[in-house]
Structure 1
Amino acid sequence: MNADDSLPDQADTVIVGAGIVGCNLAYQLTELGRDDIVVVDKGPMPTTGGSSSHAPGIMFQTAESKILSKFAKYSRTLYSDLEDDDGVQAYNEVGGIEVARSDERMDYLQRRVEWAQSWGLPNPEILSPEEVEEKLPLVDTNEIQGGYYSPTDGQVSGVVACAALAREAMDRGAKFVPHTRTEDVETENGSVSSVITENGTIECNEVVIATNIWARQLGEKLDVHLPVTPVEHQYTMTEPLEELADNRIDVSDHPLYENYKDVSGDKVDRLLAGPDRPILRDQDNAMYFRTHGDSYGIGSYNHESVVPDPQDLGDNEEDAEQGSIHEFTEYHMNNATHPDRPDKAPRQASDELLPATEGRELEHKYNGMFAESPNGLPVMGPVQKYDGLWTAAAIWVTHAGGAGKALAEWMENGVPRLPDGPIGLRHCNVNRFDAHEGSWDFARDIGGEEYRIVYNIMHPKWVWTDHQRDIRRTPMYHSHKELDAELWAEAGWEEPHWFDSNADLLAEYGDQIPDREGWEDKYWSPIEGAETLHVRNKVGLHDMTSFNKMEVIGSDAGDFIQHLCTNDMDLDVGDVRYTLMCNENGGVRADITVTRVDDDRYLLLTTGREVGNNHVAWVSDQSPEDVVVNDVTSSLAAMVCTGPNARKVLSKVTDVDLSDEAFPFFTSQQFFIKNVPVTALRVSYAGELGWEFYTPSEYGEQLWEHLMDAGEEYDIRPYGNGALDALRIEKGFRLWGEDLHTEHNPYEAGLGWAVDLETDFIGKEAVVEAAEGNNIDHKVACLTLNDEEATILPHRPVLDGDDPIGYVHSAEYGYTVGACVVYTYLPPEYAEPGTELEIQYEGERYDATVREEPLLD
C-alpha cells in the first residue's frame, strides 16, 4: 500500500479514518465513479492502530437484525475477492459454529437458523455435539448440547482487507494520507467547508467521520453529540499447543509483516496466521475462539463493562503504543465479574470447552476496544445539522463492507443500497437519536449495557429496566403510574404498554384471549387483549404524545407539502389527509397525516419510537429557506379517544357538534374540551370511531383527566401500545419501520390509493414506474395463522415447501378476528388471497393463509 504523506489542499470528499470502514467507503465511492477523495488517519497505514488492526476478524453473519446480517453477507462476499500483494485472500471461509450449553441456548440457536433463512444466508443447520466435534476436534462434547453451523462464516484479516481496499481505491484516484491527525472541521453557512489537520487544511464539500471509538471527540468539536461509546473486551492467544503442532505457520514473509509489527509487536506472528477450522462461539459464556496457526485465540466479553472516557483514549502515532488497546486486566479473565454470569470465570469456561487450553500460558494479552451505540447498531448517514457532514461509526469489521457499500450509494445516489436492492437504515440513521442520547452520561451507561448484553439471549421486546429510565415523561405520566401502567422506554419516553388496573376486564374478555407460552409469552400480558376488545366494544383513551409531530409554516408551505407528499395536498383549512413521503428511489420514506390548520400552517403527524426522528430530519432537510419546520413533539401533548362510545364521552365535555355531518372523517377543528384548548382530528389509528387531540403540553394532564372523568359512565379505559399494535394490525394499518419502509414502493405496500400521479413529489419518476407495473418485485400480504390459538413473533421465514419466499415483518394476535395476523412481502404470485403457505417459528411450522385486507372494515 503506497500511501502518501503529502496533504492536498482541496478534495471533494474527505474521509477521516483509514480503518476498515474508511477503506471500505473509499473503495465503494471510487467504484461508483468518484475520484477526488482523500482519506486521512493519524496512524500509519494500513495498520492504523484502530480496532481494525487488533480485531481477530471473526465473521459470524447471522443476527436477528436484518441490517446486520445483510451487511455481513455482503462483507463476506467482498472480502472473499480481496487479496494482498502476494495474492493471499483476505477472507478465510472456514465456517462458524456457535455452541449451546443450555436448553435456552439451543432454542436460541434454532432462532438463528430461522433468521438466517429469513435474511438469505446459505445452508444454516443445527449440529449434534458429535457433529460439532467432527468439525472442531478439540471441543469437549460433554460440555455442549449442540451447535449452530453457518458454512460461509469465517475470518477476515482486517489489515489485509484494508490494504487491498485502499490499493484499489488509490488505483481509481483516491489519495490516502497517514500520520495526519484531524484537529477540526470548519463549516460555513451550515455546510462543511474544510478539514483542519496537524499538517494543513483541506478544503472540501463533504466530510465523513469514520473514526469509530474516536468519533465522539470529533463530533463534539462540531457540537454534534454522537452517542458512540468505546468499550473494552479481552483477547489473548495461548502458547503453542501440541494438538495444533501441524498447523504452525511462518508469516514473516507476508508483505504486511513489518508494517503490522510496527504497530502490533510480536503478536503479528499470530495475528497474520489465519484459522484452519471453523471459528467457535460460546455465547453462554460470552466467549469466542479461533486458531492462529498452532495457537488458539480466546476472546472474552465475559466480564463487567469497562467503558473508558473518550477524552482519555490514546493516539495512533508512529512508534507509539496502539491507541485502541489497553493493558490486559488479568482479574477479568480469572474471576467471574459479568453481572449476568456470576458463577464461572472466563478462563474456567474456556478450559472446560477446550481442554487443550487448560494450564497453558496465555500470551499476547490485551484489552481491545470497539464502539457501541445505544441500540447496538451502526451510526451512519448524513448529519442533519450540517450539509456535507456524514458519519460511519460503531461498525464492526463483520459489517463494514456492507455498511460501506450502503453509505457510498447513499452519498452518491441518494438512497442506501446493496446489490440486491435498497436497504432501509432507519435503525442505523445518525438522525434517529434524541437530545438526551448525546450526553456522555447516557452514552456511557447505555454503551456499557449494550456491551453487557451483546451475547445474552435478548427478547425483541426487552427494554432497559435499571439504567437511564424516566428521562422523558409525558404530561400523563403520573396518571399512568396511578393506574399501574406497565411502562416501557421508547426513545426515552416512558410509555404504557398495558395497564394493570385493567386486569378486571379479563373477566369479561378472557375467553377471547388465547393463552401464550414460550418465547411469545415473554413481555406480554393478556390485559393487552382485554384492552383491545374493550376499545372495539366500548371506548378507550391512549396517550400518543411520543408520536413525532412537525409544524410547517410559511407562505410557500403548501407547495412544499405537495413536493414532499404523494397524495393531492390541495387542502382547505381543517382538512386532514393521509399520505406518503417517498425517497428518490420511490421507497416509502414515511406515512404521515397532514392537517392544514391555517392558511400557511400545517401539522404533520408521523410515527414515534426510535425511527420518528428520521422523518423530522428528512422534512427539515428538504425544506426551502422560506419555509420553517418546527419539531413540536415535546411541546404538544397528544391522545386519542376511540371506540363506539367515543362520541358520547366527548359530548359531555364540549358543545361542538360531533356528528358525521358536522365533523366528517379526516377533518379537523379547534375548540375547547372544558377549559383546555385542543386541535381535534377525526382520525383513529385503532380503526374505530375516534378523535385525536393535540394541546400544549402544560394542558395535557388536565385534558386526560377531563376525558377520563367524562367517560366513567361509559367505562372508558386507558390502553397501551400492546393493544394499539393489535388494533392497527387487524385493520390493516401499516407501521412504518416494520411493515412499511424504504425497501418497498407504495404499490408494493398496497398503498397506491395514497398516490396522486397528477401531482409532483420526490421520487415520482420511480413511483410512476411502479404504477405501470414495473419494479414490483414483492407485494404486501396479510396472512392469518390457521391455528386460531397460535401466536408468533416477527423475523421468521415464510415458506413455500422448504423454500423461504419472504419473512414476517410484523405479527400480532387479532383479538377481534380471532387469529394471529401476519404482514409480510411476497413475490406477487404468492400474495394472492387464498394462497396456503407455512411460517417457521421456534422450530415448528405453522400453516397460514393469505387473506383479503383489511380483515376488519
Structure 2
Amino acid sequence: MTSPPSHARAVIIGGGIIGCSVAYHLARLGWTDVVLLERKQLTSGTTWHAAGLIAQLRASQNMTRLAKYSQELYGQLEDETGIATGFVRCGSITVALTQDRREEILRQAAMARAFDVEAFEMSPAEVAARYPLLNTDGVTAGVWLPKDGQGDPANIALALAKGARNRGARIYEQTKVTGIHRDGKTVTGVDWETDRESGYTTCDMVVNCAGMWAREVGHMAGVNVPLHACEHFYIVTEAIEGLTRMPVLRVPDECAYYKEDAGKILLGAFEPEAKPWGREGIPDSFEFDQLPEDFDHFEPILEQACARMPVLENAGIHTFFNGPESFTPDDAYHLGLAPESTNVWVAAGFNSIGIQSAGGAGMALAHWMDTGERPSDLGDVDIARMQPFQGNRHYLFERSKETLGLLYADHYPFRQKATARGIRRSPIHRELLDQGAVMGELAGWERANWFANPGQDSAYTYSWKRPAWFDNVAAEHKAIRTNVGLYDMSSFGKIRVEGPEAEAFLNHIGGGDFSVPPGKIVYTQFLNHSGGIEADVTVTRLSETAYLVVTPAATRLADQTWMARHIEGRRVTLTDVTAGEAVLALMGPRSRDLLTRISPNDFSNATHPFGTAREIEIGMALARAHRVSYVGELGWEIYVSSDMAAHVFETIMAEGADLDLKLCGLHMMDSCRMEKGFRHFGHDITCEDHVIDAGLGFAVKTDKPDFIGRAAVLTRKQTGPQSRLVQFRLTDPEPLLFHHEPILRNGEIVGHLTSGSYGHHLGGAIGLGYVPSKGESAADVLSSTYEIDVMGDRIPAEASLKPLYDPTSERMKA
C-alpha cells in the first residue's frame, strides 16, 4: 500500500459521503493532486448507518437546487462507476395530523411549485389510496412529491470515491490526521499516521469533512466548526409478507418517518428532546459502531407508530439501531471557507440530511474552491454565519438537545429556539424585560421582538394565523408611523475601519463614494465581480482616518471576514466594536420633539440633515446621533457607549412619557421596512442578486475610478435589469405572507417572495420578490396582473416598483 504524497493541492479530512463527494467534484474539475485521508474505513462514521432518504425540497431555492443536483448525480453514478447506488425515485408523502401542520405542508407545496419541484396536495382519502398501510385517522392533509427517492448511503459514497479515483484523486484509509501545521492564518500541511508509519503532507488547501469529529479537527486547524453529535434511533422490522416498494412516509406530528427497504420497514424518529453524545470526546476506536439501545427513549415513538401503521404490531424487530449524527446550532450544515483561515474549507454538520445534501454540497464547495466565488447564494449554510461563542462545548451540548427534534417540529413563523439562550445581551436587556419585552434570539443576541401589554403573557405563541401578539406589533407600528417609538438596535454589527488608507480601501471594496467629510453617512453595498451583493451596509466617516461600518447582526463576522480578505496589504485595521456601543433608535414624526427635550443640540434639517452623524449631549451623557432610518420615518439612531446606555434609556423614557413614547420591537421594524420597500440582506438581496436588478443602483457610484464589481454594474446599466425587485400588497387584508410564496404574473408562476410581513399601515400583507424582466421596461412589468399563491389560493396583489409607503421619502427627511 502506497503512502500519502509529500504534497497535495487539497487534503480532504474524512471519508464519509461528504468527503467523497468533495473529492469527486474536485477531480471532475481537473484537480488531480487531491488527497483524501480517512482515519478508519470509508463510510465508517455516520454514512454507513444513514437511512438514505433523498428528498428534493429544502427550505430555500438554492438549497433545493443542490438537493435536486444530488438526485440527478446519484441517478447516473452507477453507469459511471459500476457501483450500484440503490437510488430509486419512490416518491414521498408527508401527512399532517393538525390544522397547523396542514397549513405548513400546503405552504411547502406552494413553495415547491415556485422552486420547480413537483408537489401535489392530497386529501386524507388520497393519502390512504397511495399508502394503504397507513391508518388515516386524524390525518388532515398530505403532500405527494413523486420525484423524491431513497438510496444506499454507503454505496453512493463508495461510488463517489471510485469516481474520484478514476479521475486521479488518491484516497487513503486507516490514515489518521494527527496534527495540522499553520503559518498565521494559513495551513501549510498535515501530520498523519497509519499502523505502519507516520508522515507529513504539505498542501495548498485543507477541507474539513470530518463529520462528528469536525469540531476537533477544526481546533487543530485553528477554526471554529460548531456541531455536536446526538443519538439517532431507528428500527428495522423483519420481512413483512406482501410488502412491495412504497413511498417514503413522514408523519412529523408523531416525530416519525418510514421507509420500505427490501420488504422490511425502517421506522426512524426525530424526538422532541434528543440525547447529545460524545461531549467528552468520541472514542478513538469508533468504526462502524453503534450506541447502546435505549428502548425506553424510543418506546413512545414506537407506540404511536404501531397505531399509525397497524402492520407493525405483528412485525418482529430485526434491528434496533442507535447511532450518532452531528447537529449544528441552527440545523443548517456548514460549508465554505472558514473565517479564521485563508485556506481551510469546511463541509460538515449535516443534521441527518447528509445523503441528500452530499452531491450538491460537494459540487458547490468544489466550484467555490476552484474559482474563489460561490456558485450561488450559500448564505444559509456558509460557515461564516457561525459566531465564535457557538463553538463552546456546553452551548453545543444544550442546543443539540433541541435541534434534532426541530427537524420535525412545527416550523412556525418566528419560532424561537428554547435552549442555550441568554448568552449575548444588550446593555439595556434588563430594562427592556422590565418593560414587557419578549425576546427573540439571533446570532446569540437576545433582542426585543415585541412588547407585551400589562397583564398579557409575555411569551411567544405560535400560529400560521394571526398570533396573540399581532395587535401588539400593530400598535408599535402605529406609534412609529404617527407619533414616536423607541427600539433597541444594539445587536447590529459595528466594524471600525481605521488607518491612513481606510478611505482608499473602502472605495475599492464598496460601491459608494467614501471620499466624504467626517460625519457623513454613506448607504451602499459591497459587491462581488458579478455585481452581486456581498454586504448591505451604512458607513459613517468618523474622522479622516476612521469609519464605522454597520451591518446586520447575523452577518457581522461574514462581512468583516470578506473585508479582511480584500485588504491586500493596505494600511488598514478592522475591529469589531459591536459590544462597545448600544444603539437606541428613536423614530417617528415626533422624534425631533423628544430629542430637543433631552439634548441641548440642534436637530433641525439645517444643522443635522438626513444622512449625517453628530456628537451630542443627551441627559448627562455623551452620544453620537446618526440621522438614518430603516423604518421610513423621521428619526435618529443614538450610539452610546455601553456604560452610559442605561442612563440614556432612562432619560428617553422619562421625557417620552408625556409624548406617549412607545417601546417597540424588531418585528415592527421588519414590517415597517417592508412597507417602505427597504431590502433585507440574506432575503431580498444576496451575493447572486445584481445590485441593479435589486433597484439599488442609486447607492453605487460608477464615476469612481475602480471598485469591485464596477464593470458588471456598468454592463447591467447598459443592458437593463434582467429582473426587478417588486413590492406587493395583497388586496385581501386577511391572508398572511412570510416568504417563499409563489408570484404569479398573468396566471403563470414567475418567482417567489423573498420576504413577507403584514403592512399594518397599508392594511394588508406585503412582500418583496423578483420578477424576470429581460428586455422589458418598468411600465411593461407593472402592466401585468399579479397574484400570490397562499396555500394554493391565488390572492390578487397590487404591484409597485416604488415604495408603497412614502415613495419620495419626504417623511424621513422632514
Same structural fold, with TM-score higher than 0.5 when normalized by the shorter chain: yes
Specify whether residues 502 and 733 from structure 1 end up closer, same or farther in structure 2 by C-alpha distance, changes over 3 A only.
Answer: farther
Residue aligning to 1:601:
546
Deviation at 1:170, TM superposition (A): 2.0
Does the aligned pair in 2 maintain the 1:49–1:316 contact within 8 Å?
Answer: no
Partner letter of residue 762 of structure 1? I
Please list, as runs of the form range in 1=range in 2, the aligned pairs for 1:377-526 lying within 5 A after superposition. 377-395=332-350, 396-417=354-375, 422=376, 424-465=377-418, 467-501=419-453, 519-522=464-467, 524-526=469-471
Matched, 1:360 2:360: no
Specify whether residues 802 and 185 from structure 1 end up closer, same or farther in structure 2 by C-alpha distance, changes over 3 A only.
Answer: farther
Deviation at 1:722, TM superposition (A): 1.5
Residue aligning to 1:40:
37
| C-alpha separation in 2, matches of 1:139 and 1:478 | 51
Please list, as runs of the form range in 1=range in 2, the aligned pairs for 1:565-576 lying within 5 A after superposition. 565-576=510-521
| C-alpha separation in 2, matches of 1:802 and 1:682 | 43
Partner letter of residue 551 of structure 2? T
Residue aligning to 2:685:
740
Deviates more, 1:578-587 or 1:101-110: 101-110
What CA deviation, in whole Å up to 9, does each residue of 1:254-274 have, x standing for no partner?
A: xxxxxxxxxxxxxxxxxxxxx
| C-alpha separation in 2, matches of 1:583 and 1:561 | 14
Residue aligning to 1:254:
none
Does the aligned pair in 2 maintain the 1:21–1:392 contact within 8 Å?
Answer: yes
Does the aligned pair in 2 maintain the 1:225–1:439 contact within 8 Å?
Answer: no
| C-alpha separation in 2, matches of 1:835 and 1:708 | 48
Residue aligning to 1:71:
66
Match for 2:11 among 14, 19, 32?
A: 14
Specify whether residues 88 and 433 from structure 1 end up closer, same or farther in structure 2 by C-alpha distance, changes over 3 A only.
Answer: closer
Could you tell me the TM-score, scaled by structure 1's length? 0.88
Does the aligned pair in 2 maintain the 1:237–1:296 contact within 8 Å?
Answer: yes
Secondary structure, counterpart of 2:399 in structure 1: helix
Residue aligning to 1:644:
589
Partner letter of residue 57 of structure 1? G
What CA deviation, in whole Å up to 9, does each residue of 1:184-213 have, x standing for no partner?
A: 211012211111111311101111111111
Deviation at 1:162, TM superposition (A): 1.5
Secondary structure, counterpart of 1:579 in structure 2: strand
- Contiguous gaps of at least 5 residues in structure 1: 248-275, 335-344, 505-515
Specify whether residues 606 and 50 from structure 1 end up closer, same or farther in structure 2 by C-alpha distance, changes over 3 A only.
Answer: same
| C-alpha separation in 2, matches of 1:477 and 1:773 | 49
Residue aligning to 1:236:
235
| C-alpha separation in 1, matches of 2:252 and 2:211 | 25
Deviation at 1:70, TM superposition (A): 2.7
Does the aligned pair in 2 maintain the 1:650–1:710 contact within 8 Å?
Answer: no
What CA deviation, in whole Å up to 9, does each residue of 1:31-66 have, x standing for no partner?
A: 223222111111223xx3122111121113223344
What CA deviation, in whole Å up to 9, does each residue of 1:572-592 have, x standing for no partner?
A: 111111111112332111111
Deviation at 1:146, TM superposition (A): 4.2
Match for 2:771 among 826, 829, 844?
A: 826
Q: How many residues align?
A: 788
RMSD over equivalenced CA pairs, Å = 2.3
Matched, 1:155 2:150: yes
| C-alpha separation in 1, matches of 2:113 and 2:516 | 46
Does the aligned pair in 2 maintain the 1:684–1:690 contact within 8 Å?
Answer: yes
Specify whether residues 240 and 315 from structure 1 end up closer, same or farther in structure 2 by C-alpha distance, changes over 3 A only.
Answer: farther
Residue aligning to 1:579:
524
Residue aligning to 2:27:
30
What CA deviation, in whole Å up to 9, does each residue of 1:771-823 have, x standing for no partner?
A: 2226x442101111112344322121112466321111112222233332210
Partner letter of residue 177 of structure 1? Y
Deviation at 1:500, TM superposition (A): 2.4
Match for 1:332 among 292, 297, 321?
A: 297
| C-alpha separation in 2, matches of 1:761 and 1:326 | 55
Partner letter of residue 322 of structure 1? F
Residue aligning to 2:498:
553
Matched, 1:215 2:214: yes
Secondary structure, counterpart of 1:451 in structure 2: helix
Partner letter of residue 438 of structure 1? G
Residue aligning to 1:136:
131
Does the aligned pair in 2 maintain the 1:749–1:779 contact within 8 Å?
Answer: yes
Matched, 1:94 2:90: yes
Deviation at 1:180, TM superposition (A): 0.6
- Give % identity: 30
Residue aligning to 1:704:
649
Residue aligning to 2:812:
none
Match for 2:288 among 311, 319, 322?
A: 322
| C-alpha separation in 1, matches of 2:272 and 2:477 | 43
| C-alpha separation in 2, matches of 1:712 and 1:106 | 45
Matched, 1:112 2:108: yes
Matched, 1:841 2:803: no
Specify whether residues 279 and 315 from structure 1 end up closer, same or farther in structure 2 by C-alpha distance, changes over 3 A only.
Answer: farther
| C-alpha separation in 2, matches of 1:778 and 1:502 | 47
Matched, 1:285 2:260: no
Match for 2:715 among 756, 763, 769?
A: 769
Partner letter of residue 346 of structure 2? T
Could you tell me the TM-score, scaled by structure 2's length? 0.92
What CA deviation, in whole Å up to 9, does each residue of 1:672-719 have, x standing for no partner?
A: 223322222121112222121212211111111222223333222221
| C-alpha separation in 1, matches of 2:585 and 2:272 | 46
Matched, 1:816 2:774: no
| C-alpha separation in 2, matches of 1:301 and 1:669 | 53
Specify whether residues 814 and 295 from structure 1 end up closer, same or farther in structure 2 by C-alpha distance, changes over 3 A only.
Answer: closer
| C-alpha separation in 2, matches of 1:77 and 1:18 | 22
- Contiguous gaps of at least 5 residues in structure 2: 810-814
Specify whether residues 326 and 430 from structure 1 end up closer, same or farther in structure 2 by C-alpha distance, changes over 3 A only.
Answer: same
| C-alpha separation in 2, matches of 1:31 and 1:765 | 31
What CA deviation, in whole Å up to 9, does each residue of 1:407-462 have, x standing for no partner?
A: 22222222222xxxx2x222312121223311111111111201122211121301
Residue aligning to 1:631:
576
| C-alpha separation in 2, matches of 1:7 and 1:296 | 42
